[in-house]
Amino acid sequence: MSDVSSAPEQQTRWESAYDGAPRPRPNGHRPPSATVWPGSPQPLGARHHIGPGGVPGTNFALWSAGAEAVEVCLFDEAGNETRCPLTEHTHEIWHGFVPGVLPGQRYGYRVHGRWDPWTGSRWNPAKLLLDPYARAVDGEYALPPEVYGHVRGWPQRHLSDTVRDEHDSAPHVPKGVIVESALGAGADAGDEWIDDRRPKVPWADSVIYELHVRGFTMRHPDIPPELRGTYAGLAHPAAVEHLTRLGVTAVELLPVHQFAHEDHLLRRGLRNHWGYNSVGYFAPHAAYAASGTRGQQVGEFRRMVRALHEAGIEVILDVVYNHTAEGNENGPTLSLRGIDNRGYYRLADDPRRYADYTGCGNTLHVVQPQVLRLITDSLRYWVQEMGVDGFRFDLAAALARAMHDVDMLSPFLAVIAQDPVLRRVKLIAEPWDVGAGGYQVGAFPPLWTEWNDRYRDTVRDFWRGALPDVRDLGYRLSGSSDLYAWGGRRPYASVNFVTAHDGFTLRDLVSYERKHNEANGEGNRDGTDDNRSWNCGTEGETDDPEITALRRRQLRNLLTTLLLSTGVPMLVAGDEMGRTQGGNNNAYCQDNETGWVDWSLLAEPGWRALYELTARLITLRRNHPVLRRRAFFSGRAHGPEGLRDLAWFNGAGEEMTGADWHAPGATLGMYLSGRDIPQRDATGEPVTDDSFLVVLHAEGEEGSFRLPSPPWGQAYELVVDTSREDQETEPGTVHPAGEAVELPARSVLVWRVMY
């Protein structure tokens, strides 16, 4: 077989030898055409409005730099297609106004151009393409062979992506739906809340709760069955009540952009549950709508946001702008690949291939102005018309790459920093990708917060007894100043977490040392092997009461550590009540009870107690500004008594020395002074608070700790003891300064300082 360079000359011979089913040519039989007026190149997408002469219709505008022709395809209820050629071409944007096209109309694009994969050109008008700006999508992707731009079954498999497939994909793909703008005529009553009724929770006061719209609501007994798994289900009072009683200030929703299921999952009878496979950056995922998919999902999503806002809860979206569901050169042709492959994607040195910084087959070409425009237009849409309060950017380092290297002066970060809408919302980076130099924890500029995996790893290692000393733990507990104390960044730049959707649940973290992902159908090869977990002596579930008690104590230790650390804590839905995935640390394809929250756990006293402790810790955090500081600790002496705003103590009740920090140790005392908070209230008065002493003891045996003597405190009132399942302490339980108190094995004790 000749090499790739000779392949173009062989394509004609291969096509003539094709012995598959007849392939209808798009230039053969043509569906009827509709009247198209010139329209406007702005804005991009399909926008319904009143056109010339007072005639209602829809303006279509699509960017495609190298296309030779573009057709808008309209579909009636029976699936019959009407094609509307867009003959106007302004600044690489194809556009036209089609009279009489109203909201609810289903549509797609056919884009004509060269088929030349060796130069990155993959136009194929046989494939109906989703509008990148579609506000709603009707239908789901099943991914039969007709949806692929190339012949999947070509005999020379290594070259199959170079042979164009002529089968019509329209009967097999979802359609975009024209939707009335929420800010235009026909908007719902009460839309004004979007701008002036947001909770606007300061970063330092935030407690994030990562949840999956479907997984959170599917098994909730108080949500009506017809609403489970939907936006309306999350807006239901039963769901909102759980969030408000817990005390979280924001929900971080796993991807809700329209996404597609991967072919390899569908062939195994599975589905993409998490949704990190986006195909429509403006459309709420239609499968999460209870009210319908012909545009109704837009209103349902907005009503969900409104309900959460009215409860004081912000909405943050986990967004996937680093890659799309089209995958590599062997993936389906759904949207961007067929519109302008070279314009939308980063191609490799061999332009037939894709540069893959994401591990998902492709990477969006964010340096390209129109791609950057697509992303920022999408972000502004979700803020201004859908009402969301912020974004968590999946693999954000891929977006920050200039031509190849990650660059914190990249176009994407520069545009966000100056955008009058986006610079005001919450911005969270997952600060890494899979490319060279992609690990960027601590490197993102001001305005950005980051998922801090250094926090996750250190806390996990401490409680499983794997830290060589406590130096790193001190940094993580106090806001990770070693990572974030530069450029005007604050402690809340660190989003602290112990678990996330990706990995073990909190309960599994103390129950399994090995992943158990057999149900994913990949031979248990998927998912990380670096779990930093400890099963407390037995792998998996057990009836042993001692192991069960130890595991629950470890859960209390981990939650208490997280919620009392400086920075922004993030919980994962269900961790507060012992949700398990049976040891699956990569449940991305488990759209079933493995991936859904089990609400029956709240009926069990032990798990209910864990929920109550979590809520109590969040309340403690909310009531005490010393636990949610807006500035880093100085560590310097303040006031006439020479006390520091942050001090560290060893088990003898003495301040830590350099030798103590470097010595092996499983006990650390942290003193937080509420008298030295560099913060003023709204009237300019200094903010003061109680002081607290937190002692973390990870040793498997009991220990002792001598409470610091004056001037640190006169006495200490115990407020949290994780060795106890029931956290109610006796009124007036006070220990005098200088007393040596018992530290139960593997416990966190928290005292309020009395002067």
Place of tokens 């209390």: 556
C-beta of residue 314 within 8 angstroms of C-beta of residue 389? yes
Beta pairing class for 568-572 and 494-496? parallel
> What dihedral do alpha carbons 375, 381, 386, 389 form, nearest 10°?
60
Helix or strand (DSSP H, E) at 136: strand 136-138
Q: Which residue among 81, 168, 385, 430 is the active-site one?
A: 430
Q: Which two tokens stand for residue 370?
A: 């129109």
Q: What is the DSSP string of 673-737?
A: -TT----B-TTSPBP----EEEEEE--SS-EEEEPPPTTS-SEEEEEEETT-SS--PPTT-EEET
Place of tokens 């910084």: 357
d(C-alpha 550, C-alpha 546), whole Å? 6
Helix 545-564 to helix 453-463 angle (10° resolution) is 140
C-beta of residue 387 within 8 angstroms of C-beta of residue 418? no
d(C-alpha 621, C-alpha 629), whole Å? 10
5 contact partners, CB below 8 Å, separation of at least 6: 118
258 contact partners, CB below 8 Å, separation of at least 6: 134, 137, 174, 278, 279, 280, 283, 284, 285, 286
Verify whether residue 526 is a known catalytic residue.
no
Neighbours of 724 (CB within 10 A): 15
Strand partners, 452: 496
Verify whether residue 180 is a known catalytic residue.
no
Helix or strand (DSSP H, E) at 283: strand 278-284
Q: Which residue among 394, 576, 645, 689 is the active-site one?
A: 394
Neighbours of 689 (CB within 10 A): 18
Question: What Rg do the C-alpha atoms of the chain give, in angstroms?
Answer: 28
C-beta of residue 717 within 8 angstroms of C-beta of residue 733? yes
d(C-alpha 65, C-alpha 68), whole Å? 9
Among all residues, which ones are annotated catalytic? 394, 430
